[in-house]
Amino acid sequence: MGLLPILIALSGAVSLATFTWQPVDAARSPAMKFCSGQWADMKKANKVPEGEKWSEFWSQCSKDFAAKNGDEGTAEKAAPKASKANKPAAIASAEDDSPTSAQQKKDCDAKWDANKTRTGSHGWHDYFQFMSRCM
């Protein structure tokens, strides 16, 4: 057996060990960690409102987290906004929208376009992260 196949196998093993060693949630934002924990607790206690999906919960929870913590917030400071009369958060937030929220979204969309061009950001993940900070 030659030296080259041994080196290739060894480098592959080192690469695999390196990737599996790193924590999985290192790339998750504080908002994602906090909201995921809240969702897991709600599911465990069987308190998820009827018909509410993770995507709806995440949408509202991430906005609440950003509003309470800004860009540099930590998960320990935040708590999700209580919905009215146990309605799903998505429905309660629609009732609480201010008349200027549509304009605010348009302004943030324009800022996103400029940011996307400047930084090369793309995709829904980057968009939602940007929008949670903007709004």
26-30, 76-80, 95-99 — most confident range = 26-30
Residue 55 resides in a domain: yes
Same domain, 33 and 91: yes
Single-letter residue type at 13: A
Same domain, 91 and 108: no
**Contact 61/69 with Cβ under 8 angstroms?**
no
Residue 9 resides in a domain: no
Same domain, 43 and 85: yes
Which two three-digit tokens encode residue 97? 């929208």
**Tens digit of each residue's pLDDT (9 = 90 or more) over 7-22:** 787 777 766 655 555 5
- Entry pTM: 0.36
Same domain, 43 and 90: yes
Structural domain harbouring 85:
27-96
Task: Transcribe 14-82 into DSSP letters.
Answer: HHHHHHHHS-GGGGS-HHHHHHHHHHHHHHHTT-PPTT--HHHHHHHHHHHHHHHH-TT--GGG--PPP
- In the chain, the number of structural domains is 2
Residue 126 resides in a domain: yes
